[in-house]
Structure 1
């Protein structure tokens, strides 16, 4: 699930980042080559930055999980009875009777002590730690796919339609990523979509205004 989250965020960031840049450049100049160069540079730099950021972030999270598991393994080896009592108390707090909680803790400890304690105490599955490489590649691919949407939309149409075509493509992409992110988080889709579209529209509007100002000033 972590890689899917990273992918959705990457796609969303790719759409907004690249759209903001190419629309800003389009506001300053009608030169297709300038827009393509700026868009491709933004796409490559953004994808690498997003992938690197996810790799570092998830690597830190994985290091933290591994450190917690090492500590838990040490405690199970040096104080098994105290750890079993602690596990029983966790299940008591969840509503089980003391006798049933003690029995559950004993059986789970006998089956796989580390797995039982890691999941109950730390919320970690020792056999399914987060993968920094999965998150990095998901971000890289998703950012690239998301960024290609506004880049293609602004390059292909005639000059007079470029910005409008890009805006339409961006709104479509942000509606899609907003809906997917809401589904992943069991949230209200309308709110997520509204946030996405608002951020994208503001980004394009501001950068286009800056581009127009820059084009007028330099012209």
Structure 2
């Protein structure tokens, strides 16, 4: 999942930069317009150049400074190490009308109720169908909203601090903080829903049919002028 996650995170990076850019524009135009109206043309040009150069770097740092487990903790408000797959078979699967749990057990085998064992079992099932469109798209959405929530959380503090340094009004400080609280809550809820959909899509595929795991391809035999190097 790590290599797939890195690839999907790269695809989602543009959305994260777009969100950060939109946040900066909203802060500048609506929360603290005095920072724009009092600026000279040269200063405005400098702000735009700095934003274009700095925002992608800030987003990249915030996205990569935290582990996947820590991000899940911030989104789900669960203990460190908890992932959506930890309740795949006891909560999410039974609640999804597409998943026939009895048929799923026939197709995929039995599972344990212990959270880590559930996640381990679910991950094995996921690896068998990770390229299935409904699974791949659901994972992409989950990672996108999860990282948006993670990006929004520190901005609850960082944005007001930046406005304070820029001598914005007290009202602007509180409005900026409230804006990112709302953004964090909305993106966290979206991430939870996308995570549930991701987990259930994997189970739904295995419930509908028995998936045969792909066999590992045998390594190519090394050859030399003397023939085969070994079997």
Greater relative contact order structure (CA < 8 Å, 6+ sep): 1
- Mark yes or no: TM-score above 0.5: no
Greater helix percent: which structure?
1
Per the shorter chain, which TM-score range? Answer: 0.3 to 0.5
Asked which structure has the greater CA Rg, the reply is 1
TM norm structure 2: 0.37
